[in-house]
Amino acid sequence: MGKMLLRGGTVVTVTNGTFVGDVLIEDGKISKVGKSIKVKADKVLDLSGKYVLPGFIDAHSHIGLYEEAVGAMQDGNEIGEPITPEVRAIDAFNPYDIAIKRALDGGFTTVMIVPGSANVIGGQGAIIKFKSHIVDYCIVKSPAGLKMATGENPKRVYGELKKLPSTRLGIAALMRSYFMKVQDYIEKKKKAIEKDGVFLDRDPKLEVGELVLKGVIPARIHAHRAQDIVTAVRIAKEFNFKLVIEHGTEAYKVADYLAENNIPVVVGPFGFRTKIELKDQTYENVKILNEKGVLTAIMVDHPVVHLEYANMHAALAMKYGANKDDILKMLTINPAKILGIDDKVGSIEVGKDADIVIWDNDPFLPQAKVEKVFIEGKEIEWWGEK
């Protein structure tokens, strides 16, 4: 790849301040960051008057699963039974979804794609970068989390089918039943290997649960209401697994409890209060969670709100008292930490992947536009138009 120097832009590092200066990219990595880098480069971009930011990261998205202009033929939920941990988001992800081009135009380079929330256990999420039309080349980690759901969605879907669960009682019971089976499965596998040196009774439904209980991946639990958030924490404690709260509409009501238990939240979307779980929705959630010390990222739940507009929805939180630097972190380094990839992405730092976006203005201004997107030092041009 050689060396590429990004010269004279307003460099927003996220973790080490903002200044007018240079960024050197070498072999797909950030090799130097400073106010004036003296080096002979293969390519030099004069970015005077431009803004240089790390690529935005979305820690919860259905992009490529719920595609634009497809209508009813979607692949986000495997409805039929409420426990489907064996399904994988990567097997449905369509890199030709036009929303990906628009997400790149909105400054996003990395997302966590997850199944929907119809099921109590909906399946395996994956962290991907928007860098190829071949899904396998996009994968950073898969599986990267087990999507689960509390509240109204599973109640509605399975209540209408006259199946368990139709209440919050049933949802929690199914979660416990699943993880008890996983515990027994782990013990059965251990004994078989000790006795015979091999285990020949694999179950794909339980294999991923084993990864959760062994701490390899977290549970990503959809929970809007405060009571559902607390139930998710309760079950995580019972089975000693890592937990990330998805949506957290009423997380501000239990922010101290989340901070006390070190539970991160991917908060959002913000918009219409379309169901009872959303009646107490407020942008102040972002401010309160941050002030209480809860590790928080912002999502728009694409396609509920399209990913290309996430910066504008994040900016609206400033109207309700959120700090601009904190909002920026919630689109960059915070989701990177929640996803466990902050050693690679989320800020402009030496040694990290050169996932860098060039803006013509401050990205929290409505007129700001993305001019160039680099992922691992390579300029990305969306493949769908070729």
When pLDDT is cut at 50, 70 and 90, the band that residue 73 belongs to is low
pTM of the predicted protein model: 0.97
CA 238 from centre of chain: 25
* Proportion of the chain above pLDDT 90, given as a percent: 95
What's the confidence (pLDDT) of residue 275? 86
Distant-in-sequence, close-in-space partners of 68: CB < 8 Å, separation ≥ 6 = 97, 98, 99, 303
What's the confidence (pLDDT) of residue 193? 97
Nearest-5° angle of CA 68, CA 122, CA 251? 85
- Residue 159: C-alpha distances to residues 69, 119, 152, 226, 318 (Å): 29, 12, 10, 22, 39
Which residues are 246's β-sheet partners?
A: 222, 266
Alpha-carbon span 123 to 147, nearest angstrom: 5
Q: Is residue 69 predicted with pLDDT exceeding 80?
A: no
Tell me which residue of 349, 359, 384, 346 sits closest to 140, measured CA to CA: 346
What's the confidence (pLDDT) of residue 385? 77
**Residue pLDDT, tens place only, 111-164:** 999 999 999 999 999 999 999 999 999 999 999 999 999 999 999 999 999 999
Q: Which two tokens stand for residue 4?
A: 């590429």
**Residue pLDDT, tens place only, 163-186:** 999 999 999 999 999 999 999 999
Q: Are 282 and 255 in contact (CB under 8 A)?
A: no
Q: Is residue 314 predicted with pLDDT exceeding 90?
A: yes
The dihedral of CA 43, 47, 52, 58: what is its sign?
negative
**Residue pLDDT, tens place only, 260-280:** 999 999 999 987 788 889 999
Q: Are 176 and 237 in contact (CB under 8 A)?
A: no
Q: Is residue 223 predicted with pLDDT exceeding 90?
A: yes
Q: Which domains does the chain have, with CATH numbers?
A: 1-54+346-385 (2.30.40.10), 56-345 (3.20.20.140)
When pLDDT is cut at 50, 70 and 90, the band that residue 386 belongs to is low
Average model confidence (pLDDT) for the chain? Answer: 96
End-to-end C-alpha distance for the chain, whole angstroms: 23
> What SS3 state is found at 372?
strand
When pLDDT is cut at 50, 70 and 90, the band that residue 199 belongs to is very high
Number of Cα atoms under 13 Å in the Cβ half of residue 275: 9
Q: How does DSSP classify residue 384?
A: G
b vs e for 241-280, b when ≥16 Cβ sit within 10 Å of the residue's Cβ? bbbbbbbbbbbbbbbebbeeeebbbbbbbbeeeeeebbee
Tell me which residue of 296, 287, 300 sits closest to 258, measured CA to CA: 296
Give backbone dihedrals phi and psi of 74, rounded to 5 degrees, phi first. Answer: -120, 165
In sequence order, what DSSP letters do the residues of 198-219 get, joined into one string? ------HHHHHHHHHHTTSS-E
Tell me which residue of 312, 236, 320, 331 sits closest to 283, measured CA to CA: 320
Nearest-5° angle of CA 114, CA 120, CA 121? 50
Q: How does DSSP classify residue 348?
A: -
